[in-house]
Amino acid sequence: MKIAFLGGGNMASALIGGLIAKGHHARSISVLELSAAARERLAAQHGVRASAAPEAALQGADVLVLAVKPQDMKGALAPLAARVRGKLVISIAAGVTVESLSRWLGGHRKLVRCMPNTPALIGAGISGLYAPPEVSEEERKQAETIIGAVGEVVWLAEERLLDPVTAVSASGPAYVFWFIEQLAASAHRLGIPEDAALKLARHTVLGAARLAVEKPEPPETLRKQVTSKGGTTEAALKVFDEEKLAERFARAIDAASRRGAELGKELGED
């Protein structure tokens, strides 16, 4: 499978590195990138072919991965519409719908939308994927191989579900970082030195996340196992309930999901 990338930014670099680490040969990967500095970096870091010429970058490619900023997508695709015939096109741009991509590519429908998240940069990502009926099972497997090079994947039956995926997993790392901030700040306020407070917060979240992934029990069960009746954990969780944090968190996720849908409409305007 020969893969071409449109754009050579951080996420593209992470995918390329993940593919090579899993045995994909660098010679079968090319990048279309206008920045000379970025082309040099990609060639030096991964040994892939990087070019500013569409003909050179896309020649012989089976799959094209769109890795440019959402607001730049329409302009970037304009010169490629005649060159994607027969190719699978995977977009990792947030908010840009299949309908918009297809229109900008002259009606091309072999499209997969992907919503990755930033932990993909260290190979620990989770991505939601959607493909219209025109994408074959073999092409879905190709998309899963490429995106799975940097983490886990989840297929969605409806494109609209990418908006809540964006709210949960794409934006989710920011919520986790915020929680680490608050945990560390509270520890410091209670007298723990700042560096120790941050280490405690980081590793508490890391350890709890690993436990949630590696244990078969659902998070609710794991939470109850930590919560002794009349103990310290129960005291904290009682405050969460009194402050209705679950309801507030749900409203925050809803707001992020709605914004994702709004951005899709805005980005798709001609």
Residues 9 and 139 in one domain: yes
Number of domains forming the structure of the chain: 2
Residues 21 and 137 in one domain: yes
What digits encode the pLDDT tens for the residues 157-201?
999 999 999 999 999 999 999 999 999 999 999 999 999 999 999
Q: Which residue shows structure tokens 């918009």?
A: 100
| Whole-prediction pTM | 0.90
User: Does residue 270 register a pLDDT over 70?
Assistant: no
Q: Please report, rounded to a whole number, the percentage of residues in the chain having pLDDT higher than 70.
A: 100
CA distance 142 to 138: 6
Residues 31 and 146 in one domain: yes
Phi-psi region for residue 129, left (φ > 0), alpha (ψ -120 to 50) or beta?
Answer: beta
CATH number of 177's domain: 1.10.3730.10
Q: Where are the beta strands (DSSP E) in the chain?
A: 3-6, 29-32, 49-51, 63-66, 88-91, 111-115, 125-130, 151-155
CA distance 195 to 188: 9
Residues 94 and 215 in one domain: no
CATH number of 68's domain: 3.40.50.720
Residues 127 and 22 in one domain: yes
